[in-house]
Structures are given as structure tokens and as C-alpha cells.
Amino acid sequence: MNFNPFPEIKTDRLVLRKIEESDADIILFLRTDKTVTKFIERPENRKTKNKTDAIKFIREITEAFKNKESFSWGITLKNNSTIVGTICLWNFSADHKIAEIGYDLNPAFQKKGIMDEALKSVVNFGFSKLNLAKIEAFTHKENESSLKLLLKNNFQFIENRKDEDNPNNIIFEIEKPAINKA
Ligand SMILES: CC(C)(COP(=O)(O)OP(=O)(O)OC[C@H]1O[C@@H](n2cnc3c(N)ncnc32)[C@H](O)[C@@H]1OP(=O)(O)O)[C@@H](O)C(=O)NCCC(=O)NCCS
């Protein structure tokens, strides 16, 4: 499937748009703020420490999108183009049937149902436009807000799967609903 231009997504309150180099300051904030990153462990080579790293990261996700390796959206409110959070589908399986979802939100915009709205639209995009069979989520076992978000969106806890790279993570998945199946 060809995604040119970038597949912007609109919901009732939100526009999920392409992340540009001009968004580097907010990307740096989201990837360094202590509240946002409390439960997110990134390997040293994926850490964003300054604006140069943030620009490099944005270039990497732009390139990954062109290569159909990942989709990263900046979440904005309809009346303001400033990014308040991000959401992505990445880590695709070789057959492109499974992807992992990731997300973060500026604390000033949490507890308003914004990520709930964004996640629903991205899950729907994954199943209907990318024809994914399954979407996975790896989340820290004590990340209550993230656990709540996944459970209320029908992600199932997969008890017997372990994250080999991070024993603190637990794994959830959602399968393509029958209504989306061809
Ligand atoms: C995980 C995260 C995105 C969840 O954000 P959130 O704002 O709590 O999630 P939601 O969008 O689902 O909002 C739900 C809350 O908004 C409230 N809410 C208010 N208005 C609402 C509306 N119109 N619709 C739905 N919920 C609404 C809900 O009652 C709920 O509150 P509660 O948690 O007290 O029950 C956020 O905590 C975050 O960015 N954490 C840091 C990054 C992170 O850990 N990412 C996960 C990595 S795996």
C-alpha cells in the first residue's frame, strides 16, 4: 500500500499528523520528561539527550516511514498544531502482519481521553489500512495509565509471553476484529 502523502488521521477532537523537524523541542520534551519516561526504558543508543538527538530521531522515523518500517504520528488538538503527544506503529514482523504500538502524552494533556481517542484511530488504521492481523503492546507492569488504556481498548494480557529484553514489561495484544477481516 502506498502512503504518499503521509496518512494524517482526524478524529472528533484530534489531528494525528506527520512529525517534522520543527517539532524537535516537543519531541525532546516527550523523550526526556521524567513523568513521561518514568516507565519507558530505552537502550543507550536510542536515548534522546538534546535537540540534535531529537532532530536525528525525527529523521530516523521519517526514513522508517518511507521504508514502510514504522508509522509515527504527532497528536495535536484540532485548533492547535502543537504536538501534545505521539503514537506509533513500529517493530513490524517480517510478513508485515504484526506491529507494536507505542505512545506518550504531555502530562498537561493526560486524563482527558486524548490517548484513548488517538489509540482507537491508530488501531483502526492498522487493521483497515495496513491489513495487520495483530497489534502488540509492551508496557511496564506498574504503568497503570497505560494498562487501563490497553484494557479498555480490548487488548488482551498474554500471560505466558515474556519480554526477553525487559522483565518489567508485560505484553498485550489485540487481533483484527472479524468485522475488518476480508
Ligand atoms: C499512557 C498514557 C498515554 C495514558 O494517558 P491518559 O491520558 O491517562 O489516557 P486516556 O486518553 O485513556 O485518558 C483516560 C483518562 O481520561 C479521563 N477522561 C476525561 N475525559 C475523557 C473523555 N472525553 N474520554 C475518555 N476519557 C476521558 C478518563 O476518565 C481517564 O481517567 P482515569 O485514568 O482517571 O480513569 C499517559 O499516561 C502517558 O503518556 N504516560 C507516559 C508515557 C507512557 O508510559 N507510555 C506507555 C509506554 S508503553
Residue nearest to atom 10 of ligand 1 (CA): 113
In a domain, 1, yes or no: no
Contacts of 30 (CB under 8 A, 6+ apart): 36, 83, 85, 86, 104, 106
The CATH number assigned to the domain holding 131 equals 3.40.630.30
**Structurally, how many domains does the chain consist of?**
1
The model's pTM is: 0.97
pLDDT score of 1 more than 80: no
In a domain, 2, yes or no: no
116 CA to middle of ligand 1, Å? 7
- Containing structural domain, residue 153: 9-180
Note the pLDDT tens digit of each residue in 85-137: 999 999 999 999 999 999 999 999 999 999 999 999 999 999 999 999 999 99
Note the pLDDT tens digit of each residue in 138-180: 999 999 999 999 999 999 999 999 999 999 999 999 999 887 6
Cell (9 digits) for 42: 530505552
In a domain, 110, yes or no: yes
In a domain, 57, yes or no: yes
In a domain, 3, yes or no: no
In a domain, 39, yes or no: yes
